Amino acid sequence: MKGTFPIDKFAKMQTPFYYYDTDLLRETLRTINAEAGKHPNFVVHYAIKANANPKVLNVICQAGLGADCVSGGEIQRCVETGFPASKIVYAGVGKSDWEINLGLDRDIFCFNVESIPELEVINELAGKKDKVARVCFRINPDVGAHTHANITTGLAENKFGIAMRDMESVISEAEQMAHVKFIGLHFHIGSQILDMGDFEALCNRINQLQDQLEQHHIKVENINVGGGLGIDYNHPNRVPIPDFKSYFDTFAHHLKLREGQKLHFELGRSVVGQMGSLITRCLYVKQGTAKQFAIVDAGMTDLIRPALYQAYHKIENLTSDEPVETYDVVGPICESSDVFAKAIDLNKTHRGDLIALRSAGAYGEIMASQYNCRPLPKGFITEEL
């Protein structure tokens, strides 16, 4: 079954471009708010790195979500699109001085700190402004996730976070500083996680760490478990909204929150992944020695995930109902890795056919580049067409 698209309007548009189904986005946000809303101490932030299109951010902001930022540019984008600073958290292993100062000037909710040197810099910069910066410490829980190696972040070998063995000493050091205030712990184990057992393992580790801290009379106001919930790339039509119920229920049942604690989430891909499609046109159908190629006008510059992660995106020919044939779908970039899919079945494809690469709302437009001096793809929401 193909997705439903305004093909008559697409036919008049310059390809490639991103199409964002804001009806699906709003339904996804309603589901998130309904499921998280069952737990008064749950707070949901949207991970801006997944998709920072201002029109998309406006919809998310209006739904009441906070924001998870990993750069000063993302903080600025959030402020411009209406997110209150009191709902902005700022993570990242390499925060520069200007980015920290921006967070301080905006009085964001907290900095998720990943090292003692970073903590010292935040204390110094906050001191110059006579401010106190709220900080959570990102702890590396050494919990693996069943996902691609490049998007696993919670193992001891990863660059992220503070080692568990250093947790107490870092908290103690922060308490001696005049311009930082320790308010919580932050965790994130990876992305595109579909096995709830991975999140159960994280809960068990956090429970251990909280017990350990309480033995030293250290109380934690906020626990932030990051994001990581995946989407169904194989069935975007059948499963357009992820299983948020199981996701939130996992933490509700397995994480032993203390009285008054807030539990923060940083969802990205699961919010926007399914609402986006990259729309491209077939330029040529080329018959090779042993295969045929559908050469399209989008390339790895527009959607890098297949080249970077060998990621799968369902591909549909929107303008053909002819019997299927087998194609390699490739782009025009002068790189052998500029391949969207190999040996897939598409309705018989002709020059000019509109092709949709589905589930591209996350890490698509935001990761686009101008390699080969190509223009960046534009993003359009439903209301604009």
Residue 135 burial by CB count (10 A; 0-12/13-18/19+): exposed, middle or buried?
Answer: buried
Indicate if 368 and 231 belong to the same structural domain: no
Q: What is the CATH number of the domain that holds 350?
A: 2.40.37.10
CA distance 253 to 260: 17
Kindly report whether the global pTM for this prediction surpasses the value 0.85. yes
Indicate if 200 and 340 belong to the same structural domain: no
* pLDDT per residue rounded down to tens, the chain (385 residues): 788 899 999 999 999 999 999 999 999 999 999 999 999 999 999 999 999 999 999 999 999 999 999 999 999 999 999 999 999 999 999 999 999 999 999 999 999 999 999 999 999 999 999 999 999 999 998 775 544 444 344 344 555 689 989 999 999 999 999 999 999 999 999 999 999 999 999 999 999 999 999 999 999 999 999 999 999 999 999 999 999 999 999 999 999 999 999 999 999 999 999 999 999 999 999 998 999 999 999 999 999 999 999 999 999 999 999 999 999 999 999 999 999 999 999 999 999 999 999 999 999 999 999 999 999 999 999 999 9
CA distance 138 to 259: 21
Q: What is the CATH number of the domain that holds 125?
A: 3.20.20.10
- Domain's final residue, options 273, 308, 342: 273
Q: How many other β-carbons are positioned within 10 Å of the β-carbon of residue 325? A: 16
- Domain's final residue, options 256, 273, 290: 273
Is 2 part of any domain?
Answer: no
Is 1 part of any domain?
Answer: no
Residue 63 burial by CB count (10 A; 0-12/13-18/19+): exposed, middle or buried?
Answer: middle
Indicate if 262 and 353 belong to the same structural domain: no
Residues 6 or more apart in contact with residue 210 via CB below 8 angstroms: 220, 223, 256, 258
Indicate if 147 and 85 belong to the same structural domain: yes
Indicate if 218 and 296 belong to the same structural domain: no
Structural domains counted in the chain: 2
Indicate if 266 and 279 belong to the same structural domain: no
CA distance 67 to 45: 5
Is 258 part of any domain?
Answer: yes
Indicate if 76 and 40 belong to the same structural domain: yes
Indicate if 141 and 157 belong to the same structural domain: yes
C-alpha angle 315-51-345 in degrees, rounded to nearest 5 = 5
Instruction: Name the residue range of residue 122's domain.
Output: 23-273
- Domain's final residue, options 218, 240, 273: 273
Indicate if 160 and 37 belong to the same structural domain: yes
Indicate if 132 and 258 belong to the same structural domain: yes
Indicate if 146 and 47 belong to the same structural domain: yes
Indicate if 161 and 59 belong to the same structural domain: yes
